[in-house]
Amino acid sequence: MKKEFRLLKGNEAVAEAAIRAGADAYFGYPITPQSEVLEYLMLEKPEERTGMVVLQAESELAAINMVFGAAGAGRRVITSSSSPGISLFQEGISYIASAELPCVIVNVVRGGPGLGTIQPSQADYFQATKGGGHGDYHMLVLAPAFVQEMADFVPLGFKLAFKYRTPVMILTDGLIGQMMEKVELFEQIPRATEFDQDWVATGKTPDRERNIITSLDLQADQMEKRNHRLQAKYKKMQEEEVRFEEIACEDAEYLMVAYGSSARICQKTVQLARDRGIKAGLLRPITLYPFPSNYLQAKAETVKGILSVEMNAGQMIEDVRLAVNGKIPVEHYGRFGGMVHSPNEVMEAFEEKIVKP
Amino acid sequence: MSIHVKSMDVKDIIKEENLVYRKSPLMTDNVLSYCPGCGHGTVHNIIAEVIEELGIQSNTIGVAPVGCSVLAYEFIHIDWLQAAHGRAPAVATGLKRVMPDKYIFTYQGDGDLAAIGTNETIHVCNRGEHITIIFINNGIYGMTGGQMAPTTLEGMVSSTSPYGRDVSTMGNPIKITELVAQLPGTYYVTRQAVHKPGNVRKTKKAIRKAFENQELKKGVSFVEVVSNCNSGWKMTPVKANKWMEENMFVFYPLGDIKVDGELVK
Ligand SMILES: Cc1ncc(C[n+]2csc(CCOP(=O)(O)OP(=O)(O)O)c2C)c(N)n1
């Protein structure tokens, strides 16, 4: 089989990957910097290619609840938005998590708070990894750093979403969403024709019990049980789904931790540091929830300090600090509000905050 | 001479030939969570009967709202999704788009449909999704304890309009049903009631038509049922029905508004 390469924007890669991943439906609402997802899908006529449904909703409130509906029928459903729209998703995501429905949600993050800017940011880390909406829940969060991963994480996202019956978020940003890179496209995966009759609401047939998809348990003891079920899922994710990439970590004396765009930048900083004789390494978490805490806990025995490099005012740093539990100093560096740090700026901060003290 | 009158046993009355109304076999045995006198249960039974008579249980999915009928899924024996407050039309859209040949209906109160969910209501009716909307208008927020609804009449007392609805500051009651009838995506729009046997029969006909219309794929079929909320209105069920006839039906007149895609009159 000849490999298929295309030059694509990150957003286009998500859209093409959604069709190829055998998605049944996409519901979304335009917002910069991710509108190319919906635009690409509309142009591609996926209903002719695979039978996939694409609908422009009247709002993000409607879009996420369309996702809820189609996911309740056991379908592979995907949506995308950017920060302000993702805020509107939150009620729906909480319902989806509680009702234990699978879906993939892409957040092409822009600077905030409020209407903010349309430039890239990582300021939605807390919202993505800590729950976001009301109640005790998490999404499984994947953080692509390349356009290639924008494509590959779509089928991976569906796989994990159905394995755990949970919403999966692909947390990216305007930089990766807009950037063009060479992508190797995977082959078309057929859309599913059979659905897990244990839970889908597709119509009660005589051969099975009826299925009710709800997030409501008026009896508190029942609701506690549901919460225990969710927590057991999250524990299993922590045991089985942690993904990360180590860059020059083996002999590192000082570490940077960065994901997505920021990790791409820090990769260069590692080179700069090594050129200056500093034994620097980079940990790139690929899953932000579950977070590679065990790795960092172990690493705290050998490295002298960690710089958490994020395009925000310091959010992931809390997870890094929790992991190392006070053993070594952990500092934050990052530009934010839509500004992107340069490798040199990171280098300066790295020397000042981590290497020199 | 003494006349011996044999006292009649209930069992002698419950006979096939005496049967006027019955509980549909598609109604579960769960105890209804509604107040005595409330119309929700009657509408539930009608829906169950229609699904049963059309033989579409295995092809029907209901979407329950937030409101008194949040637990509708406990009572009608079909597959259900329970939606967030106001979002049932969006949930129904998601369902219908991936299962175009299934029967999808929402069941919503006035707060759900005409306040927090107005956007979804208007747009589902404008897109013309091939679904059925059952809209229970009791002029009040029943579930949360009788607060003012978008449909609360002028001067009507509720817990958040304790001196009566003052339209100059609280806004006017909304005739959402007339509004959606104006949209090209609605195919059948009607307003009915269930407080009397004759009305129950008419409502059943309307709901049956609203389900059958889904086969035509010509847009939304929208059935409003004006109903009482004796608890929220702080009246006995009998008085509530009388008050409903004298006040609600004046502002919300019963009858068809749009049939087969054409506005009536
Ligand atoms: C987002 C959100 N806001 C508010 C509520 C509280 N709430 C529950 S039911 C309800 C009103 C329902 O009234 P209506 O739709 O008229 O139905 P009824 O109970 O009268 O049948 C409200 C405001 C909620 N559950 N969710």
Residues of A in contact with B71 (CB under 8 A): 216, 218
Bridge partners, A5 (sequence order): A184
pLDDT(B4) > 70: no
Interval A241-264 mean pLDDT: 98
Phi, psi of A6 (to 5 degrees): -140, 150
In the reported structure, the alpha carbon of residue B116 is separated from the centroid of ligand 1 by a whole-number distance in angstroms of 9
Q: Which of B31, B39, B30 is nearest to B67 (CA)?
A: B39
Rounded mean pLDDT of chain A? 98
In the reported structure, the alpha carbon of residue A91 is separated from the centroid of ligand 1 by a whole-number distance in angstroms of 15
In the reported structure, the alpha carbon of residue A171 is separated from the centroid of ligand 1 by a whole-number distance in angstroms of 33
Domain boundaries, chain A: 4-203+228-239, 244-355
Query: How far is CA B139 from its chain centroid?
Result: 12
Name the CATH topology of A244-355: Rossmann fold (3.40.50)
Q: A162-176, B19-33, B161-175: which has the minimum mean pLDDT?
A: B19-33
pLDDT for B10: 79
Interval B68-73 mean pLDDT: 97
Q: Could you tell me if A195 lies within 8 Å of chain B, comparing CB atoms?
A: no
* A167, HSE (Cβ side, Cα atoms, 13 Å): 32
Q: Could you tell me if B91 lies within 8 Å of chain A, comparing CB atoms?
A: yes
Distance from CA of A206 to the nearest CA of B (A): 8
Say which of B70, B77, B119 has its CB closest to residue A216: B70
Chains A and B form CB pairs within 8 A to the count of 129
Total-model pTM: 0.96
Interval B78-99 mean pLDDT: 98
pLDDT for A11: 98
The share of chain A scoring above pLDDT 70, in percent, equals 100
pLDDT band for A2, please (50, 70, 90 cuts).
Answer: confident
Instruction: Identify each DSSP E strand in B57-203 by its residue range.
Output: 60-64, 79-82, 103-109, 132-137, 140-141, 147-148, 186-193
Asked if domains A4-203+228-239 and A244-355 share a fold, the reply is yes
pLDDT tens for A301-317 read: 999 999 999 999 999 99
Q: How far is CA B216 from CA A211, B188, B207, in A?
A: 27, 12, 15
Residues of A in contact with B77 (CB under 8 A): 204, 210
Q: Selecting from 3.40.50.1820, 3.40.50.970, 3.20.20.140, 1.10.3720.10, what CATH number does the domain B31-263 have? A: 3.40.50.970
pLDDT tens for A150-209 read: 999 999 999 999 999 999 999 999 999 999 999 999 999 999 999 999 999 999 999 999
Distance from CA of B88 to the nearest CA of A (A): 8
Name the CATH topology of A4-203+228-239: Rossmann fold (3.40.50)
Domain boundaries, chain B: 31-263
Interval A203-221 mean pLDDT: 97
pLDDT(B2) > 60: no
Residue having the nearest C-alpha atom to atom 10 of ligand 1: B67
